[in-house]
Amino acid sequence: MNVLKMMVLGVMVFPVFGVYASEKENEKINKQVEVKELTKAEFLELVYDYEANPQEWKYKGDKPCIVDFYASWCGPCRMLSPILKEIAKEYEGKIKVYKIDVDKEKALAADFHIQSIPALLWCAPDRKPMMTNGVLSKGELKKIVEEKLLTGEKKN
């Protein structure tokens, strides 16, 4: 009887450990490609220090990026957010995706003349930035990534 209990317990417990491990692994993967929220100070450090260099655009990143100016209360922003996470995962290692909450970073949003959200700032090394407004489909986002950010880059 004890052997039977041990076998039943083993069948019940081991799959739980397997599921737990895969959930932990998925959590780790999701964190690695998570869209990073930036403060103004981080934006100045990672993207463009317009205070030090207001006359000339100098992108500071080593990989192209998308900066999403958003607000938590904005319906279209909430629609775009999961799509941007998918883009971040699909282009992991090729581009970075950042978010800036316009309610928390009002000065930064004002400095970029953000008047409607979502607004996306597209940046690539040695290229001028561009802005788009509104919700774009995943296909539209991928097209801009491929044609504007990764042009000339090796594609796998």
Active-site positions?
A: 74, 77
Instruction: Give 109's contacts (C-beta < 8 A, 6+ positions apart).
Output: 69, 100, 102
- 36 within 8 A of 96, measured Cβ to Cβ: yes
CA distance linking residue 12 with residue 105, whole number of Å: 50
Phi, psi values for residue 4, rounded to 5°: -65, -45
Structure tokens at 35: 């869209």
